[in-house]
Chain A
Amino acid sequence: MSAHISIHELVLPRISGPLVPLTLDIPPGAMIAVVGRNGCGKSTFLSVLAGLLSPVGGSVAYDGQRADRMSIAERAAHLAWVQSTPPRGSALTVEAILELASHFGSAKNAEQNVVEQTIEDFDLSQYACTPLNRLSDGWAQRAMIARAFAQNTPTVLLDEPTAFLDLPAKLVVFKAFAKAQEHGRSIVLSSHDFDALDRLAHVQATLQFTSSEIACAASFNVAGVEAGLLG
């Protein structure tokens, strides 16, 4: 199977720790968990994957196209990302947000269907007509994660997606993640929530960031992770 995401000899900016280049091919339908302590570069890694930050060396490419050379619109067709803290100021309803996401995303002809399906997958129907600024942190975060999936991109990047979620909410989102994986969509997420990842998620590879290296444990054939192997 061809790789969705090819990470080639990547060296991250900003962090003092690992300057060992990372090479990794992520196949469709894979979930990669990025773990490590605070400040070790997880969010930086996700920003580089999203093309928001340029790497010091190496490259990230989606279906052969380099992330940092895509236009904003091209990038939005390849990947969607969600930061760790949900926005709270907007008066848009959850349904309106999902409609907009699917309008700007890569599923233009099936707009209504995508919105309905996403509401169902993320179990958002009771808050579909609630404005974002009336939701709790947990529900706002769940709505924002749903927003990324409604964009219908091959790749979704999530920074600490479970930070505000309670256990039932985690069950719902991880089930939705698994369904997206079955449809060949790849997910890269950072997390401290080892327990939930262990029990609920279908993680194919773990990138562990430490102060000196990036260790990788993968169940698929990793094309030469030069940063060392774990487990």
Chain B
Amino acid sequence: MDADSFRAGLWSNGGAESKIVWGLRIPRSVMGFGAGAALGVAGLLMQTLFRNPLAGPSVLGITSGASLGVAWATLGAGALGAGAGLWGAEVCGAALGSFAVLGLLMALMAKFNSRSGLLVFGLMLGYLAGALVTVMQAQATAGALRAFVFWGMGSFADAGLGAALVTISLAAVAIATTWRFRRSLDVWTLGSSQAQSMGVDPRKTSRMLVIGSGVLAAWTTAWCGPVAFLGLATPHGVRALMRSSRHGDIALACGLGGGALAVWADWLAHLAGLPLNAVLSIVGAPVVIAVILSKISRNV
């Protein structure tokens, strides 16, 4: 679609062009921007929680839970002859799986106040989910298998404008909350004990970080699949560009930057006819390597 027909579709009522612009292009871009913003902020919150630059929205096992939910909806239900291929089955499966994992995480945190415990839990959950998914894959039909594989490639095209606007609102709330607690989060980077000495509650802070990034990751994964690299790479790029790692400086930039990156990657994917996750990984992996290497060489 060229610029003229886009413009025609934008301003006309009815007609094929209008349907393409309002039914496909705009929801896809808005969803891309919202999902990118949500994942950029979620990545920042995870890197803060674990004080580790390699953390991303997927480390808590929420994406694994989503993938198990989708596998159940597309492969498992298909084998039973019910539910497969129904519209919304993937979204419901992913939402069910990811929010179930988030619930488990919260229960775990209420009992134990341990970040390494969370990390092990997320990692092991990933293995478990992976195993159950292969069991279902082994028994699935070719069509169902194909649907599941496509879900794993990530896409902004399957959500409507409503879901896209909710995603943007969630990201905006997360950015505002990060800004509101920017000083506590800055102090958190000094370690739990220093933070506590300064009056910042470690329990409350880690719970807030898990809920924030968990809800963002779960919602985004439900609508777009496991979008790769955005959450991990965006905060690195923003910190390097802004020359700051203070939450007050970078929270909004992580949202806007993640959104812009997502829309740009989706445009590339659309042009080249590639899956979204392929583009994101091809672009994202070298960026992360470059940032980490430059950090290492500066510290030596």
Contacts and interface: CB of A to CB of B under 8 A. Distances in A.
A52 B201 CA distance: 12
B199 interface: yes
Interface string A74-107: 0111001111000101111000110011011100
Interface in B164-210: 183, 186-187, 189-191, 193-194, 196-201
Contacts of B281: none
B197 A92 contact: no
Nearest to A88: B191
A73 B204 CA distance: 12
Nearest to A77: B199
A100 B186 CA distance: 8
Nearest to B239: A91
22 contacts: A72-B196, A72-B201, A75-B199, A76-B196, A76-B198, A87-B190, A87-B191, A90-B189, A90-B191, A91-B189, A91-B245, A92-B190, A92-B245, A92-B246, A96-B186, A96-B246, A101-B198, A104-B198, A104-B199, A132-B190, A133-B299, A147-B198
A80 B198 contact: yes
B51 interface: yes
Contacts of B187: 100, 104
A89 B194 CA distance: 12
B52 to A, nearest CB: 9
Interface in A44-59: 50, 52
B264 to A, nearest CB: 27
A151 B246 CA distance: 20
A144 interface: yes
Size class of the A contact interface (CB-based, 8 Å): 20 to 34
Given A100-B183, A103-B183, A104-B183, A90 B199 contact: no
B198 A92 contact: no
Given A105-B199, A132-B190, 16 more contacts: A73-B201, A76-B198, A80-B198, A82-B197, A87-B190, A87-B194, A89-B191, A91-B189, A96-B246, A103-B183, A104-B198, A105-B198, A133-B299, A134-B299, A147-B198, A148-B197
Nearest to A83: B193
Contacts, number: 63
B202 to A, nearest CB: 8
Contacts of A76: 196-199
Contacts of A134: 299
A89 B51 contact: yes
A87 B194 CA distance: 8
Given A100-B183, A104-B183, A151 B198 contact: yes
Contacts of A148: 197
A57 to B, nearest CB: 24
Contacts of B196: 52, 72, 76
Q: Considering the complex of A and B, which 3 residue pairs feature the smallest CB-CB distances, nearest first?
A: A76-B199, A90-B189, A87-B191
A62 to B, nearest CB: 14
B200 A72 contact: yes
Interface string A98-140: 0011011100000000000000000000000000111000000
Given A92-B189, A92-B190, A100 B199 contact: no
Interface in B199-255: 199-201, 245-246
A89 B51 CA distance: 7
B199 A92 contact: no
Nearest to B198: A104
Interface string A197-229: 000000000000000000000000000000000
